Every structure is written in structure tokens, then in C-alpha cells.
Structure 1
């Protein structure tokens, strides 16, 4: 709070004082008051008004400076009123009272919106669980009648299943603590489930699926890690290179404090300019716009789930040569004790 701005705000008071002061001087001069008395009266009047302005300024300065500093330092600025002392001046009391009412109204609105959002998420989850049953049935029926159905129909069913699963995990990632359970899990089992789920796509696209050194135990949530890896494998299949012997290599390496899991493919790769943005929401990049339609959500959700699980995920790639996705899973003795 600046004194110059404070004086500017009080300009009407100062001008009114100067008007009355001028009238007072004129009256005193008209009555031929002694000059010494005139000087004393002038001094006392200026001292009185100046004191009132200074006291008012310093009283308000402390409150408003604390208000601005706390707003800037707090992550949740709406909690600022909880950090302030009650003001001693009337304007401050009016301000805090108004802010409390605004906060109360905002909290009520936020609570209403949260309830509506949670209800919607619960409905989406319920709907997804219900719709996955007929999708799974259709896929099974298609497998049992491969000779009568076009393979493209099966591919489209798998795509629908993948997109539905994306929605489910995106919704769950918002309230992750209610859904995941980190415990020692066999990495090999997760990889086998992924291979089984994608076997039709791998065979149809003639992609060699290589697995090495995955007979390890990792501290993770099996469902979530399976979903993350499945998004990566789907991308490897989607962006395979034509007219070459395609492969996907999954390899794990155990170190002292972590397990490093990598997925390598020899697909079309990713442009260097796109690498830094592949985990952004809805970012499809050059490949997503040119080669195939893409939602840009798969890697975004995968990154979000990795963050929730405490894993790190990185991508390196060279255009028209390879793409390598690396997931680092920390070892933690706590999970062994908790088990």
C-alpha cells in the first residue's frame, strides 16, 4: 500500500480541509488576530489533519499489505482470510465480511459441482462396466466365427474396447487413491496378459513380439500398469512401418533401487519437435494427423497414472527408425513390510 495512492484516494478530504482552512485564516485576519496566534492555529490544524491521515494510513497499510502478501504466497488464495488478523477499522471489517460471504457462496457452488461431477463419474464407470460386457461378447463371437467375419470387424471391436478402457482409466485417474493398490506383482503375468489381449493385432500386422528378462517382481498396481503398457503397445502397432520386419521388444533390467522396463519398436518413430509434447492432453503430433486418426489421450493417461503410482515414464525416438518408452519402477521395502 503506497502513501501517495492513499493521499490520492483522500484528495477530497484534503481539498475540503484546505477550503475550511482558507476560510478560517480569512476570518482570523478579518478579526485582526495576532500573527503569533495565527501561526499556532495553522500549525495545530495541519498537525491534526496530518496525524489523522498518518494514523489511518499506517493502520490500513499493515492489513492490506498482509492481505496482498498472503494472497501471493498461498497456493489456495481463497484461504487468505484464515491467515489474517481481524482489522480494527470499519472498511476492513466490511471487506472481510464480504469476502467471507463470497467464500461461503463459492464453497457451496464448488461442493454442488463436485457432487454433480462425482455422480457423473460414477455413472460413466457404471456405464463402461455394463458396455464392456457386450463388447467382450462380440469379440468372443467374432473369434469363434473368424471364417465368416471380415477381420476388419474384429479390429474395430478391439478399437472400441481400447477407447472404452481409456475413458474408464481417465475417470479413475482423477480419484486414483480410491482405486489402485500397490503390491508386489509378477511383471511376467502383466506382459502375458498384454500379449494375449493384442495377439490378433500383432498377428494381423505381422509384428514379432519379443520379451526378455521380465521374470521379476515389481511394486505396482497390476491393472494400472497393464493399461499403461497396453497403450504403449497399441501405439507401436498403430505406427508400425510398412514393408519391414516389424518387432516390439519388451525388456526389464533390475538395478539396486529400481527396475527399468523398456518397450522398443522399429516403427515410424516420432519427430524430434513432437517428443516433448507427447504426454500432453489431446496432443496427436505429426503422426496422429498424417498416418491415422488419434485422440492424443493414451499417453496422457499413461503419464498421469505413472505419476500417481510413483513411476516415471520417458520416451526417446528417432524418426523412421525406432521409438523406446521407458518406465522406471522404484523398489520400496515398505510394500514388503505392508504385505
Structure 2
């Protein structure tokens, strides 16, 4: 403790020593060359400096005792007992740093818990298509390829959601912003989900101008539109219904809307459907919802700077819109 104190004040002690020597030299040059004068000045200066250092050491004793001993708990390390303005500010800084650390730890813990919960839920849900595939393979006669494709598509969609959920934490590293033709992106996404439309006997209606260009990440936006389409078909229980995909220009921005003719979302669930793992009343009816699709879509839109809006009425369907800000048409009419 004493060694630390003198290491901290070594420069001050040297400076005071040189200052006393300088004063004695002035006395010498000014004609005061008596030994008792020199002794008096030296003793008084030494006593004053020693008293000052001793008082400072006493004030810092508690602080030195803290930093030179390993604390048993974090609460003990963050005890407030500083007495000087400098150490008061140091304590305040440490408390702010600890709060920042706690926030980061809580965020990491929440992310890890969400990942584990989602993986457990996804693995549980994948048991159903695996069981169906196993039953189909055990049946005698010709293999039902259509049913196999449906179950494989379910597994493929679930696996893609898991991968996107894992990548959302490193979104900035995976993001690639580009000029994307909206109509081609919508058609490609619908084409990849055509078997789902056919199996549910739901038909897409596309009204997206070919000259609409949006600035976005193609892969992430394709995943987001795919979630909208999947939900639209999944919650349309009556056959021969339609899913409308439209786009229009609104004050220089482009608004993409996916509207279905399904069962709609109850008003009590509408405010919570963007939360992770929230399945709501409709999710409990199907028993297949993970509650992560709209959550991931909302996160993607936030990170890309797009505005996501959801409106719905029970029995009348649901409309999900994405607003691409400050977009322009590729060609002027």
C-alpha cells in the first residue's frame, strides 16, 4: 500500500525537492548563507510536505485497501467509499461501466434463451413431418410423392426459419443492400411456395408494376415475403380463396401489401403477434406455429429501415404491408 502511494506521488516528491533546492539557491545568491537558515528552510519544507503526503495517504487508505484486495462479491467491489473528487468520479465511472456490462449480459442471455427455446420448439415440431414420412415409407403400394413433398417442404421451411433466426444476430455482417426489382422478387417467392398454394387450393393474385425498384437486401426480403405468404395460406382454411400481393407508389415511397381472405387475427392478439414465440388463438388452432415468423420479419424490416404494418379483422382476412422509404420507379411514365 505504501509502495503504491509513493509510486503514485514520486513525481510530486521530486518536484518539491527540486523546489526546496531552488529556494535555497536563491537564498545563497541573495547573500543569506547562514547554515541555520538553510536548515530551518529545509526542515520546515520537509515537515510541510510530509504532513501533506500523510494526510493524503490517510484519505486514500480505504481506496488503496479496496484495489489491493480481490473482492469476494461484485456488490462488495461496487461499494461507495471514495472521499476525493477524483475517486468519486472513478467510482461513478465503474458503476456506469458495470451497468453497461449488465445490459450486454442480459441481452446475450435473452438471445441465448430465445435460441435454445426456439431450437427445442422446432425440433419438437419436426417430429410430425418425420413421423408422416416414416408412415408413408411403411405403406405398401405406390409411394405418395405428393404427401412426401408436402412434409419435406414443411421441414425445409422450418430449417430456413432456424437458419435465419441464427443469422439475425449477425445481420449487419450478412446484409447486402442492392437495387431489387420488386415484381421479380415477389414472383420468385411465390414460385418457391407454389406447392403450398396448390395443396391448400389458394391462389395468388399479383399486381406489382414491373418498374418498381426497391433498395433492400434480396435474400432477407425474400425470406420476409415468404413468411407473409406462408401465413396467408396457412390461415386460409376455405379452398378457392385468394392471396393478393399488390404494390403502389405513395408519395415517392413504395408500399407492398400481402392480403389474404383467411380467418383474420383477433383484436386481442394483434398487438402481440410481433413478439417472439407468440402464437395466439390462430396458432393454437393449427398447432404448427412457432411464433417466430412475424417476429423475424419485423426484425428484418427494422434492420433494413422498412416500415411493417399489420391490419386484420376476424373473418375478413389479414393485410401485411411493408413500406420502402424514398424509392423511385425505374422508369418514368
How high is the TM-score relative to the length of structure 2?
0.58
Check 1:326–1:107 CA distance in 2 against 1; reply closer, same or farther (3 A cut).
closer
Q: Work out whether 1:224 is the aligned partner of 2:220.
A: yes
Query: Residue 292 of structure 1: CA displacement?
Result: 2.9
Specify every segment of 5 or more residues in structure 2 that has no aligned partner in the other structure, as ranges: 1-77, 116-141
| Residues 263, 315 of structure 2: 8 Å contact kept | yes
Deviation readout 1:267-314 (Å, 9 max, x if unpaired): 111111111111111100100012332110000000000000000111
- Residue of structure 2 in register with 1:251 after alignment: 246
Q: After the TM superposition, which segments of 4 or more aligned residues of structure 1 sit over 6 Å from their partners?
A: none
Supply the distance in 2 between the matched residues of 1:265 and 1:280 (Cα, whole angstroms). Answer: 21
Specify every segment of 5 or more residues in structure 1 that has no aligned partner in the other structure, as ranges: 1-80, 82-86, 122-146
- Residue of structure 2 in register with 1:263 after alignment: 258
| Residues 284, 296 of structure 1: 8 Å contact kept | yes
Supply the distance in 2 between the matched residues of 1:155 and 1:188 (Cα, whole angstroms). Answer: 26
Alignment of 1:148-167 (within 5 A): 148-167=143-162
Check 1:190–1:97 CA distance in 2 against 1; reply closer, same or farther (3 A cut).
same
3-state secondary structure, aligned to 1:148: coil
- Residue of structure 1 in register with 2:23 after alignment: none
Supply the distance in 2 between the matched residues of 1:219 and 1:101 (Cα, whole angstroms). Answer: 42
- Residue of structure 1 in register with 2:57 after alignment: none
RMSD of aligned Cα (Å): 3.9
3-state secondary structure, aligned to 2:291: coil
- Residue of structure 2 in register with 1:277 after alignment: 272
Check 1:178–1:92 CA distance in 2 against 1; reply closer, same or farther (3 A cut).
same
Q: Work out whether 1:176 is the aligned partner of 2:168.
A: no
Query: Residue 189 of structure 1: CA displacement?
Result: 1.6
- Residue of structure 1 in register with 2:193 after alignment: 198
- Residue of structure 2 in register with 1:89 after alignment: 83
How high is the TM-score relative to the length of structure 1?
0.57
Supply the distance in 1 between the matched residues of 2:275 and 2:91 (Cα, whole angstroms). Answer: 42
Query: Residue 236 of structure 1: CA displacement?
Result: 1.1
Check 1:88–1:213 CA distance in 2 against 1; reply closer, same or farther (3 A cut).
closer
3-state secondary structure, aligned to 1:175: helix
Supply the distance in 1 between the matched residues of 2:235 and 2:213 (Cα, whole angstroms). Answer: 30
Supply the distance in 2 between the matched residues of 1:320 and 1:102 (Cα, whole angstroms). Answer: 51
What number of residue pairs does the alignment pair up? 224
